[in-house]
Chain A
Amino acid sequence: DIQMTQSPSSLSASVGDRVTITCRASQIITTYLNWYQQNPGKAPKLLIYAASSLQSGVPSRFSGSGSGTDFTLTINSLQPEDFATYYCQQTYSPLYTFGQGTKLEI
């Protein structure tokens, strides 16, 4: 199975900050990489697909980049609603896998 490793596991930031979350795959996955946001008690929400494509309705302060094994999710000008947990996911292999999550806290 392809292992996905996110860093950091948790991150403290303030409203207005710019933050970056990293995701590394255990093998090359080209751009088969998605990012999701999850608030407590809620279902995950798709933010970015195919490494850098912004899902419809998602604010433009979210962006994704990367290819191969290393990927980043960047959030510019943090808003209060952005404090949540973020997961990367690979869909290169049919046995999909998620990263362990990054909790973004105030």
Chain B
Amino acid sequence: EVQLVESGGGLVQPGGSLRLSCAASGFTFSDYSMNWIRQAPGKGLEWVSYISGASSTIYYADSVKGRFTISRDNAKHSLYLQLIGLRAEDTAVYYCAREKSTTSPRVWYFDLWGRGTLVTVSS
């Protein structure tokens, strides 16, 4: 079955760290760029980070740059997000999503999402 499954969320104190994982199955993981998106309780979607299939290109939202690190292990079919210096405003459900594109022009979109993992930052 084609799916993404996130894990690693939990309760962490302000200033703490956490590592999120996203396990991919049912498709050739290395062929796809991947993204993390988050959603604070009762709020909208916020794109967090992007990584290309070979990890050669990485982008971050300004709100997390310098604190979060995206990575992947294609041999393990897994995507990661290392979160450090966590703040209350980082409390959210974190989703991983697979990216696809049209051929010409190349318009990118998220065609497969995981169910998310909840990160709660609180003392």
Across the interface, B50 reaches (CB within 8 A) one of A42, A89, A94, namely A94
Q: What is the bound-complex CA distance between A100 and B43, given in angstroms? A: 8
Question: Residue A68 at the B interface, CB < 8 A?
Answer: no
Question: Residue A81 at the B interface, CB < 8 A?
Answer: no
Q: A interface, how many residues as a size bin?
A: 20 to 34
Question: Residue B32 at the A interface, CB < 8 A?
Answer: no
Which of B8-16, B66-74, B107-115 forms part of the interface with chain A?
Answer: B107-115
Q: What is the bound-complex CA distance between A53 and B100, given in angstroms? A: 13
Which residues of A from 1 to 29 have beta carbons under 8 Å from B?
1
Which residues of B from 79 to 123 have beta carbons under 8 Å from A?
95, 102, 105, 107-111, 113-116
- Provided the pairs A95-B47, A96-B47, A98-B44 are in contact, do residues A43 and B111 lie with their beta carbons within 8 angstroms? no
Given contacts A1-B62, A44-B37, 5 further A-B contacts (CB under 8 A): A31-B105, A34-B110, A42-B115, A50-B107, A94-B50
Question: Residue B35 at the A interface, CB < 8 A?
Answer: yes
Please state if A32 and B44 are interface contacts (CB–CB under 8 Å). no
Please state if A97 and B47 are interface contacts (CB–CB under 8 Å). yes
Question: Residue B59 at the A interface, CB < 8 A?
Answer: yes
Task: Tell me the nearest residue of chain B to A45, going by C-beta.
Answer: B113
